[in-house]
Amino acid sequence: MHELPVIRLRPKSRPQAIRHGFPWVFADEVVLDRRTRALDPGGFAVLEDAERRALALVTVNPESKIVARVMDGDPAACIDEAWIAGRLSRALALRERLYDVPFYRLIHAEADGLPGLVIDRFGDTAVIQPNAAWTDAMADRIAEALIAVTKVETVILNGQGRARGLEGLAERMEVLRGTAPEAPISVTMNGATYLADLMGGQKTGLFFDQRPNHAFAQRLATGVEMLDVFSHVGGFGLAALAAGADRATCVDGSAPALQLAVGGARAMGAADRLETVQADAFKAMEQMAADGRKFGLVVCDPPAFAPSKQALDAGLRAYERVAKLAAPLVAPGGYLVLCSCSHAADLTQFRNVSARGIGRGGRRGVLIHTGQAGPDHPTLPQLAETGYLKSLFFRLDG
């Protein structure tokens, strides 16, 4: 292997953060001379501290604010198909211990030692999201290693989303190996049936991260009417029906997503207990309040309102408004579940604005449970962004 280029930390940077497991190096922390700026996005280099001591092997992208991501603590490591297969095998061993059937997040980026890479598995099909330059450049080799390790037959690349734009990567969507499924894939979780559109749906087609929170919500859903706002393909709503909810109402702005929710309910034999409302979620909640509707369980699982620090203030105001509008829809003694997938809003901030919104909605209550993503979405302790999901379960007074 030819000698790799070197990038060097500035004298006032903190190399101990890298030594202690922090996986990112920002552009203002390295010497960005003409040679470093000329490095190919997605290439590899040796990261050195200011005293020229090697710290790690990194992948570089001079076009990103995250100019380097740690690939391996061994500066002499070789990032090839065998190296990728090793990381995949380790991740697979964890998921096979956790789940009886192969439907889960297989790779959760930095937390699984593959920075910027997300892989969701749907039985014999896997969907990869290459959100860092190196993953885009090595997508075919990742697909080959994935097939060798997991024996999946189809690998779909879903190169869409905000993260790719931050890396300077163009959107792309293609089937790397195998054949694209002709129909949505049926996925069973917590006794509910979901339909995942792997080629046309949001993200990879289904959100596995809420699985444990669906399960907790099921304890509160038996024998009540429930409302699932920002429902996507019916995540909480279908889980509630599976647990014996009298009725579920799913609200979402996407007609295709709601059609998949209906398909899932039909597959469960529960279509007659599902109502769908295609509308702006805020307007729908306002109208339901005006109509005097009440539900024993209300769940709001919106998109990321605060995807960055720059959007934090506006995002927190949006989360507060969600809580304010949702709280009056909860029947006396009922339950309100508020979720955030914004990594820029930490748990304390989200909990505070949620409580304030509930109060502004004229209600009081207690927090009975705080949920996070399932164990197939492991958290890297040094990187808060890997622990992005927060789900707050409140019991509201009369």
SS (H, E, C) 57-105: EEEECCCCCEEEEEEECCCCCCCCHHHHHHHHHHHHHHHHHHCCCCEEE
Indicate left, alpha or beta for 109 from its phi (over 0: left) and psi (-120 to 50: alpha).
Answer: left
d(CA 360, CA 362): 5
Bridge partners of 247, per DSSP, are: 225
State how far the alpha carbon of 66 is from the alpha carbons of 57, 79, 184, 332, in Å: 15, 19, 36, 48
d(CA 181, CA 203): 16
Q: What are phi and psi of 392, to 5 degrees?
A: -110, 125
d(CA 377, CA 85): 19
User: Contact at 8 Å (CB) between 55 and 18?
Assistant: yes
Write 107-114 long-range contacts (CB < 8 A, 24+). Answer: 108/376, 108/377, 108/378, 108/386, 109/386, 110/23, 110/69, 110/380, 110/383, 110/386, 111/377, 111/378, 111/379, 111/380, 111/383, 111/386, 112/87, 112/378, 113/87, 114/84, 114/87, 114/88
The torsion of the CA quartet 152, 156, 160, 165, rounded to 10 degrees, works out to: 80
d(CA 262, CA 250): 10
d(CA 22, CA 20): 6
Question: Taking the alpha carbons of 337, 382, 92, 161 in that order, is the dihedral positive or negative?
Answer: positive
Q: Where are the alpha helices (DSSP H) in the chain?
A: 15-19, 34-37, 81-98, 133-137, 139-150, 162-166, 211-221, 235-242, 255-268, 281-290, 312-326, 347-360
Q: Is 341 a catalytic residue?
A: yes
Q: Point out the catalytic residue in the list 250, 300, 339, 341.
A: 341
- The residues assigned a catalytic role are 341
